[in-house]
Structure formats: structure tokens, C-alpha cells
Amino acid sequence: MGKLIDISVPVREGMIVWPGDGGPRITRLRSLEEGSHSNFSGMECSLHTGTHIDAPLHFISGANSIDRVPLEVFIGPAQVLYFPDNEFITADDLENSGLPDETERLLLKTRNSDWWKEGVMEFREDYVALTDDAARWVVEHGIKLLGVDYLSIDHQVHGKNAHSILLGAGLVLLETINLSGVEPGEYELFSQPLNLIGAEGSPVRAVLKKYQDN
């Protein structure tokens, strides 16, 4: 069995969330120390907390909710590309990357991942995101799942066009992954969402399995 690499961002109180969103709250409802027969906790958070999947319904009215996306989209071979010096990822960057034609799952590693490695706890506005033409390139090349290493595939300042382009074409987005310990190459991705009926997204535990020849 190949090495497993956890690319999920830990969920905890005080973690980075999108500006204006409430962070997660984990509350101990019963405890052994207080005489209960078990420890039992509750959690309150948005469906886009930490590492998560955006289903098409997130931006497209009437589109697939997370429970209607075929499970095979979330599991299978994935390519990791590395763009260490980019401020944005463009269609030209992707065209010149050497990405295999048959790729269906694509994860984009950038300098954003350095912040996860360094433990940066405040939201950074200078994160690397996709341009609109990059989003269209992804759609035109048959990608089914696209992953990025910060909180959004779009840049905060430049609107949500990439979301609309990608989700409008039926893709799913895997956001807020930590690729700091991942080299470029081919892996097997496991990123199953919760079976949340009618929901536009879901937290996930995303894992890569390293192939022996990587």
C-alpha cells in the first residue's frame, strides 16, 4: 500500500475562516469527568469550514447538491501541479504544465500551502487564486474535481466568476487543502463528503495515496 498523506486542514476553534463567516464551535455536552456515562460533544459550523467540497448547488440554482454528485468523482487518480511563484494561475500556466490529457482530478499547489505549514492563523488577502480563463480551461479539458490550497478558488477582490464557471459546468471544488507535504505528480485521492441531503457543500477528510513510482 502506498503512503497516505493527509491534506486536510485541522478543524478547531479559532481557525481561519472566510471573512464574515463564523468559525467552528465544538461544545462538550456531556463528560465522564462530570459523571456522565460518556463524553459527548456538539459542533456548530458552516459546511464550508476547513477542507470542504463545493457542490454545483453552491452557486447554481437547481444544480446538483452534494448528495447527488456521483461518489466516483471524489475518489480516484489525481494530478498535483505546483506553481510556486504565481500571483494568479492562468490558462497559459495550465496549458504549459504538461498535465496529462486524461486527468479528471486536479489539485493546485501554490505558495498558499506554505502558510499551512507555517501555522499562519490570520486570513491572508494575497492568496493565489484562479483567473477566469483558467477556470474555462479546466472546464474545456474535462476536469471533474479541482482542488486549491486556500479558502477559495476565486480571489476575494475579483469576484466569484471562477466559481460560477466551474460549478456551472458541473465540477466540484475541493477547497482549503494543505499540499505543503506533497510533491507534484500523480496520486490517488480520497475526498468523500458527508451524505447531506440537499446541501451545497460538505466538510471532508481529504487524503492522497502516493503511488510507488512517485
CA distance 151 to 49: 9
SS3 141: coil
Q: Which entry of 48, 58, 155, 163 is annotated as an active-site residue?
A: 58
Grid cell locating 23: 468559525
Pull the grid cell for residue 153: 478558488
Task: Give yes or no: 58 in active site.
Answer: yes
Cα-atom radius of gyration of the chain, to the nearest Å? 17
User: Could you tell me if 88 and 128 are in contact, meaning their C-beta atoms sit under 8 angstroms apart?
Assistant: yes
Q: CB count, 10 Å around CB of 196?
A: 15
The values of phi and psi at residue 117, to 5°, are -65, -40
Which of these, 209, 190, 205, lies nearest to 75 by C-alpha position? 190
Are 149 and 178 spatial neighbours (Cβ–Cβ below 8 Å)?
A: yes
Longest dimension (CA), the chain: 62
The C-alpha cell of 38 is what?
460518556
CA nearest to 53, candidates 41, 71, 28:
71
**Angle formed at CA 129 by CA 181 and CA 120, multiple of 5 degrees:** 50
The residues assigned a catalytic role are 58
